[in-house]
A and B are shown apart, each in its own frame.
Chain A
Amino acid sequence: MNVAAPSTVPRRRTGFGKYRTIVLSIALFLVFDLGVLILNFYTSSEISTDAVGINLAGRQRMLSQRLVKALHEFGAAPAGSTEATNALMELRNTTTLFDTTLSAFERGGETTGGDGRAVLLQPVSDARGRAAVEAALKLWQPLKTALDPALRGSDAAALHEAVRLASSSNLALLRLMNDLTTALEQVAAGKADRLRLIQTIGIGLALANFFLILFHFIRQLRDSDTRAETARRETVEILDTVTDGLFLLDRELTIGAQPSKSLHGLFGRSTLANQPFLPMLREIVSEKVYREAADFLDVLFREHVNLKLVASLNPLHEVEVLIPGPNGEPQRKYLGIEFTRVTDAHSALVHLLVTVRDITVRIELARQLELSRRQAEEQMSLLLGILHVEPPRLREFIDRADKALHDINATLRRHGSKHLSKRDEYRGVLNEIFPTIHALKGEAGLLGLEFFEKLAHDFEERIVELRGLKRVGGDELIGLAVQLDRLIGSVEAVRAMVERLGSLQQGFAQEATAAAGAPAGAAAETPAMAPTSTAAPLPELTVDTFRFLVERLAQTEHKRVQLLASGLDTLAVSGAEQITALREVLVQLLRNAVAHGIETPEERHLAGKTDVGTIRLQARADASAGIELICHDDGRGLDPGRIRAAALQSGRWSEDELDAMGTAGLRALLFEPGFTTAAEATLAAGRGVGMDVIKHRVEALGGTLSVASEPGRYCAWRITLPGLPGLGELSFETT
């Protein structure tokens, strides 16, 4: 797991960056608007000034008419009358106003407006207007001079002259003032046209600017949309094709919106996006892993925790999962789930990036490697195991094992093909197989073939396991057959090895003979390990064989045991069947003595005994009584309390039933199939077979089995075989 590299912070750029265009456009828009506004303001103020001029020019036309009219009224009114006075005042006012206005038109200056307020006029600049003003002045000056005496007094001659002059120039003045009005109106109209032009241009520019901005941004948007779409498509392509499962996990432990496509296959689900992660996980992993994962994820989101320093705690690093397959059948897979922190621009932890890999192949490969390594080791221990066994005994074992295993195989095949409906029928099959495999295990132990002993032990364990199941189907029996194949295979391996060793030894022998000058053919006739040899007498029941077994079992049980045997060397039994049966019985009795009888050195010490336990094996043959075998150990003895407790725990007997049994009854339980007092199964004992097998074997030989014991002191088993008379003179010790 890695700590995420901090994402690069975008570099701050001077200026406006990508916003430059829009800022420029807005600035231009404002400049255009402001320009148009200023021009508009200026021109319209000019137009409004012009309007005043036009107004006053129009008033001049009217004044010229009023002047003539006032002159006539003044002349017609009797002197000193009110009419005369009024007319004179009108005449004065009209003259003054006309004169002031006209001179203001000429030189610029103040005059009185239509509302009586002072108005400032600019000199007329238009050529036509100017000509009209100047012509009007030429007509006005003589008239004004002629009017002057008439305005001051009532000189009739002057008045008459003034009326004549006014009448003659009146029309001309009227026309000139009309011209002036028209000229001023044309100037104003020109300005209004200009104003419209400015406004049109301004609006045009603003519109052009607007469209420029519009097109620019539409293009930019389209470009960025295209880029975003491309990026999105790439992301989708990556997420669709990547074989690793990828997704983001937020603080609420919700799967992100875009998990990679392969994740659906890895988790065996069609919907994952925006789903809570933990409930999904809970369905595919064990409860323990689920709880650890929940805590671990909590830890990952704590920012003070160093991701590198907790990576090794990830319970999902290699995790076994059960994924629903295409047919709904759960499939066992191994996933490797790793977490990486995802931080934002401010280094704040926002997500975990989760990668999921299917590591089933890798794990299985590792297992296969481990298996082949173990097989190599097994081969080696097999080799070492057989090296110390005498060849004839080994060959006998191989033949027996081969036959027994093939018998079991035949039994399994026979029942595997049948439809066994009742539980008891399965049990029957299992019970049929069990004693055979158990005896083989004992034999292998006796010969020190640890490897084979272990395989047989595993097979035995499996049978016991199946016996405990409520239902046993053909599948389970096939599973047993597979295990059986391994056993058969190992027997074959031993046989092959024995033959190879034989030829090797033969080779050495030939070489030695050749070196000695003897003919090669002679050596070949007496090979040390000829596969067909039956000549050598079998040392079936030697003390050494049993001592070896007892020492080895004692070692695995962490006990110290010595075996004292007597009479065995003189006990000769004819017939392979009987030899085998006797050996099996003795092996089982010795196993029980080591496993159940003899205590650990500590226990013995506490009980005031010597650290080393003693097992005595005594045999004697009597011509009339047959063979008597006694196996005596100075261990803990048969404890009725322990037997009772074990029986109670097995659930096969009720308390009342056990109470009713008494000591003898409880001891009899030892001969029940599957009964054991050992807490756990070991190679030596504890699977709860043995005593019943011994009993059956002894009974099959026509003998009897009895037991004597004192709790804490000893346990002794006595077997009598009247049908098996011993040969030769026997000596034996008595207990």
Chain B
Amino acid sequence: MPEPKPLTLLIVDDSHIIRRRIERSVAIDGLDIVGTAADGDEAVRKFRKLLPDAVTMDLTMPGMDGLQTISAVLAIRPDTRILVVSALADRSTAIEAIRRGARGFLYKPFDDAQLNEALTELLELH
């Protein structure tokens, strides 16, 4: 039986530490991290090129913020599964992100298990 094509993930966060953190922590069979972006503009540029299946999205970023980036990304590929990764303090922004089409929310700080669980749930890999 041929191996199923792996799903692809793009990490968007302005914090270098959080990007590294997610990169190192993701341990899901069939999910490849194909890129990282530090702001909205870079995210959209890389998204257009890579067309990933899933995106982890920070909300507060310099320049184009998370909400705008979500709209831009979904305009390119509407079935993208977006997981908002943000602090619970800006709950209303997070809810707005979900209204714009993101599918789930993971609050910072998170541990490895929570991250992998959320991504598994996001991609319905269970």
A contact set with B: CB distance below 8 Å: 288, 291-292, 295-296, 298-299, 302, 304-306, 308-310, 312-313, 315
Question: Does B10 make an interface contact (CB < 8 A)?
Answer: no
Which A residues touch B121, using CB under 8 A? 306, 308-309
Q: Is the CB of A298 within 8 A of B92?
A: no
Stretch at the interface among B11-19, B21-29, B39-47, B102-110: B102-110
Which A residues touch B92, using CB under 8 A? 288, 291-292, 295
Give A300 Cβ to nearest chain B Cβ, in Å: 9
Report the separation of the CA atoms of residues A309 and B81 in the bound assembly, to the nearest whole angstrom.
12
Give A38 Cβ to nearest chain B Cβ, in Å: 65
Contact with A along B90-112 (1 / 0, CB 8 A): 01101110110101111100000
> Quick one: which of B88, B94, B101 contacts A304, CB cutoff 8 A?
B101
B contact set with A: CB distance below 8 Å: 83, 88, 91-92, 94-96, 98-99, 101, 103-107, 118, 121-122
Which B residues touch A305, using CB under 8 A? 98, 103-104
Report the separation of the CA atoms of residues A292 and B93 in the bound assembly, to the nearest whole angstrom.
9
> Quick one: which of B91, B105, B107 contacts A315, CB cutoff 8 A?
B91
Assess A292 versus B103: contact at CB under 8 Å? Given A306-B122, A309-B83: no
Chain A CB within 10 A, most for which of B88, B91, B106, B122: B91
Task: Jot down 28 A-B pairs with beta carbons below 8 A, ordered by A.
Answer: A291-B92, A292-B91, A292-B92, A292-B95, A295-B96, A296-B95, A298-B99, A299-B95, A299-B98, A299-B99, A302-B98, A305-B98, A306-B103, A306-B121, A308-B104, A309-B83, A309-B103, A309-B106, A309-B121, A309-B122, A310-B104, A312-B88, A312-B105, A312-B107, A313-B91, A313-B94, A313-B95, A313-B98
Q: Is the CB of A309 within 8 A of B99?
A: no
Which A residues touch B91, using CB under 8 A? 292, 313, 315
Which A residues touch B101, using CB under 8 A? 304
Which A residues touch B83, using CB under 8 A? 309
Q: Is the CB of B96 within 8 A of A313?
A: no
Which A residues touch B88, using CB under 8 A? 312-313
Give B95 Cβ to nearest chain A Cβ, in Å: 4
Which A residues touch B118, using CB under 8 A? 309
Report the separation of the CA atoms of residues A298 and B92 in the bound assembly, to the nearest whole angstrom.
13
Report the separation of the CA atoms of residues A304 and B82 in the bound assembly, to the nearest whole angstrom.
11
Report the separation of the CA atoms of residues A310 and B84 in the bound assembly, to the nearest whole angstrom.
10
Give B61 Cβ to nearest chain A Cβ, in Å: 20
Sort A-B residue pairs by CB-CB distance and give the 4 closest, nearest first.
Answer: A309-B104, A295-B95, A299-B98, A306-B104
Q: Is the CB of A309 within 8 A of B105?
A: yes
Which A residues touch B105, using CB under 8 A? 309-310, 312-313
Residue of B nearest to A288 (CB): B92
Report the separation of the CA atoms of residues A256 and B46 in the bound assembly, to the nearest whole angstrom.
47
Which B residues touch A298, using CB under 8 A? 99
Report the separation of the CA atoms of residues A419 and B94 in the bound assembly, to the nearest whole angstrom.
52
Which B residues touch A302, using CB under 8 A? 98-99
Residue of B nearest to A296 (CB): B95
Report the separation of the CA atoms of residues A537 and B101 in the bound assembly, to the nearest whole angstrom.
76
Report the separation of the CA atoms of residues A261 and B53 in the bound assembly, to the nearest whole angstrom.
47
Residue of A nearest to B107 (CB): A312
Residue of A nearest to B92 (CB): A292
Which A residues touch B99, using CB under 8 A? 295, 298-299, 302
Residue of A nearest to B118 (CB): A309
Which B residues touch A310, using CB under 8 A? 98, 104-105
Chain B CB within 10 A, most for which of A296, A298, A306: A306
Report the separation of the CA atoms of residues A309 and B96 in the bound assembly, to the nearest whole angstrom.
14
Report the separation of the CA atoms of residues A315 and B122 in the bound assembly, to the nearest whole angstrom.
21
Report the separation of the CA atoms of residues A304 and B100 in the bound assembly, to the nearest whole angstrom.
11
Report the separation of the CA atoms of residues A310 and B101 in the bound assembly, to the nearest whole angstrom.
12
Report the separation of the CA atoms of residues A517 and B12 in the bound assembly, to the nearest whole angstrom.
78
Residue of A nearest to B99 (CB): A299
Report the separation of the CA atoms of residues A292 and B107 in the bound assembly, to the nearest whole angstrom.
17
Give B69 Cβ to nearest chain A Cβ, in Å: 18
Report the separation of the CA atoms of residues A310 and B99 in the bound assembly, to the nearest whole angstrom.
11
Which B residues touch A304, using CB under 8 A? 101, 103
Report the separation of the CA atoms of residues A312 and B91 in the bound assembly, to the nearest whole angstrom.
9
Report the separation of the CA atoms of residues A288 and B104 in the bound assembly, to the nearest whole angstrom.
22
Report the separation of the CA atoms of residues A306 and B118 in the bound assembly, to the nearest whole angstrom.
10
Report the separation of the CA atoms of residues A306 and B105 in the bound assembly, to the nearest whole angstrom.
9
Report the separation of the CA atoms of residues A309 and B126 in the bound assembly, to the nearest whole angstrom.
14
Give B37 Cβ to nearest chain A Cβ, in Å: 21
Which A residues touch B98, using CB under 8 A? 299, 302, 305, 310, 313
Give B64 Cβ to nearest chain A Cβ, in Å: 22
Report the separation of the CA atoms of residues A630 and B122 in the bound assembly, to the nearest whole angstrom.
70
Residue of B nearest to A291 (CB): B92
Report the separation of the CA atoms of residues A295 and B90 in the bound assembly, to the nearest whole angstrom.
13
Report the separation of the CA atoms of residues A719 and B83 in the bound assembly, to the nearest whole angstrom.
66
Give A278 Cβ to nearest chain B Cβ, in Å: 15
Which B residues touch A306, using CB under 8 A? 103-104, 121-122
Report the separation of the CA atoms of residues A310 and B122 in the bound assembly, to the nearest whole angstrom.
11
Report the separation of the CA atoms of residues A316 and B96 in the bound assembly, to the nearest whole angstrom.
16
Chain B CB within 10 A, most for which of A292, A304, A313: A313
Give A534 Cβ to nearest chain B Cβ, in Å: 56
Which B residues touch A309, using CB under 8 A? 83, 103-106, 118, 121-122
Give B70 Cβ to nearest chain A Cβ, in Å: 13
Report the separation of the CA atoms of residues A315 and B88 in the bound assembly, to the nearest whole angstrom.
10
Which A residues touch B106, using CB under 8 A? 309
Which B residues touch A308, using CB under 8 A? 104, 121
- Contacts A298-B99, A309-B121 known; 12 new A-B pairs at CB < 8 A: A288-B92, A295-B99, A299-B95, A302-B98, A304-B101, A304-B103, A306-B103, A306-B104, A308-B121, A309-B118, A313-B105, A315-B91
Which B residues touch A291, using CB under 8 A? 92
